[in-house]
């Protein structure tokens, strides 16, 4: 929804600019004739087709070009913020969104959490089945986790097999339950590699809440540390460090 809104806003803005540019031509022409003491009624009657052609033509061409330009600009902007393999947000967008939510937390004292997870033994998947199979695992995992989130949660691919989720406006126990649900759903997931092979994967997930003393980097680093605690404890589990 957020991406679609951005696209529509950009296209609308460029189309409006096209309308303004389109009207400038006929208005400038009529203004010059007026300054030169040409009677407008006489001008319109003598050159009606030319006036209509110029006005309608520019009103079609310039807004259309503006809409196309807005669409292409939006595509370029999206490519800079979207991971091409999983179609999730990339680390650049994730950090931007984290800045926004930290600022919102400071204003409203709203809750904020980071969950970081990665795929257990992902190197073994690549070594055993090949990198194309690894890519398939990342795609399927991304789709599964995305379906488990609320529309305003932010899911991003922040590393090779590492993902992060930003949660806001939620209670700690709800976030822990949501993280555990994701872990369980991934554990049940079967990734079809080809006609004869499929594999199952698990994830280790670390979860923490934002604290008043945190910087963006310390907040993220704590979540990352908690995730590695989950790995050390045996993988395929959720660990958390929350202010309850």
Q: Give the per-residue SS3 of the chain.
A: CHHHHHHHHHHHHHHHHHHHHHHHHHHHHHHHHHHCCCCHHHHHHHCHHHHHHHHHHHHHHHHHHHHHHHHHHHHHHHHHHECCCCCCECHHHHHHHHHHHHHHHHHHCCCEEEEEEEECCHHHHHHHHCHHHHHHHHHHHHHHHHHCCCCCCEEEECCCCEEEEEEECCCHHHHHHHHHHHHHHHHHCEEECCCCCEEECCEEEEEEECCCCCCHHHHHHHHHHHHHHHHHCCCCCEEEECCC
More confident residue, 170 or 225: 225
Candidates 30, 54, 59, 57; CA nearest to 42 is 30
Q: Which of 36-40, 108-112, 175-179 is the most confident on average?
A: 175-179
- Calculated CA dihedral for residues 24, 26, 28, 31, nearest 10 degrees: -140
Boundary residue ending a domain (14, 49, 81): 81
- For residues 55 and 101, membership in a common domain is answered with no
Q: Would the pLDDT of 39 be above 60?
A: no
Residues 187 and 141 occupy one common structural domain = yes
Catalytic residue among 2, 161, 162, 185: 161
- 102 and 142 share one domain: yes
Same domain, 108 and 193: yes
- For residues 223 and 156, state if they share a domain: yes
Indicate if 185 belongs to the active site.
no
**113 and 231, same domain (yes or no):** yes
Of 27, 59, 81, the position where a domain reaches its end is 81
* Residue 137 placed within a domain: yes
Please tell me whether residues 128 and 172 are part of one structural domain.
yes
Residues 115 and 216 in one domain: yes
**With 80 as the cut, is the pLDDT of residue 2 above it?**
no
The number of folded domains in the chain is: 2
Q: Identify the pLDDT of residue 147.
A: 95
Q: Does 159 map to a domain?
A: yes
Given a cut of 80, whether residue 54 has pLDDT beyond it is no
pLDDT at 214: 95
Burial class of residue 6, CB neighbours in 10 A (0-12, 13-18, 19+): middle
30 within 8 A of 40, measured Cβ to Cβ: yes
Q: How far apart are CA 207 and CA 216, in angstroms?
A: 15
86 assigned to some structural domain: no
77 vs 214, higher pLDDT: 214
Q: Which of 18, 49, 81 is the last residue before a domain boundary? A: 81
Tell whether 13 and 134 lie within a shared domain.
no
Domain of 170, CATH number, reads 3.30.70.270
208 in a domain, yes or no? yes
Same domain, 148 and 29: no
Has residue 38 got a pLDDT over 60?
Answer: no
Which domain does 115 fall in, by range?
Answer: 91-241
pLDDT at 50 over 70: no
Segment 86-110, tens digit of pLDDT: 999 999 999 999 999 999 998 988 8
Give a yes or no: residue 43 inside a domain.
Answer: yes
Residues 138 and 30 in one domain: no
Q: Is residue 168 scored above 60 in pLDDT?
A: yes
- Report whether pLDDT(6) > 80: no
Residue 31 lies in a domain: yes
- pLDDT above 50 (res 32): yes
116 and 68 in one domain?
Answer: no
114 domain residue, yes or no: yes
């Amino acid at each position: 929804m957020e991406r679609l809104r951005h696209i529509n806003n950009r296209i609308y803005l460029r189309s409006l600019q096209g309308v303004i540019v389109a009207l400038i031509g006929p208005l400038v022409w009529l203004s010059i004739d007026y300054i030169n003491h040409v009677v407008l009624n006489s001008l319109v009657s003598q050159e009606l087709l030319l006036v209509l052609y110029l006005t309608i033509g520019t009103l079609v061409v310039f807004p259309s070009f503006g809409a196309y330009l807005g669409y292409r600009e939006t595509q370029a902007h999206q490519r800079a913020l979207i991971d091409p393999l999983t179609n999730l947000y990339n680390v650049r967008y994730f950090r931007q969104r984290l800045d926004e939510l930290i600022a919102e937390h400071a204003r409203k004292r709203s809750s904020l959490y980071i969950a970081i997870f990665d795929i257990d033994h992902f190197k073994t998947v690549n070594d055993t089945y090949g990198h194309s199979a690894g890519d398939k695992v990342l795609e399927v995992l991304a789709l599964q986790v995305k379906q488990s989130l609320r529309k305003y949660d932010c899911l991003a691919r922040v590393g090779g097999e590492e993902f992060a989720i930003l949660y806001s406006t939620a209670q700690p126990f709800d976030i822990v339950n949501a993280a555990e649900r994701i872990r369980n759903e991934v554990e049940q997931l079967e990734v079809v590699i080809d006609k004869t092979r499929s594999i199952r994967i698990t994830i280790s997930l670390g979860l923490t809440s934002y604290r008043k003393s945190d910087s963006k980097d310390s907040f993220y680093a704590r979540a990352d540390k908690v995730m590695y605690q989950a790995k050390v404890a045996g993988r395929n589990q959720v660990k958390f460090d929350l202010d309850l």
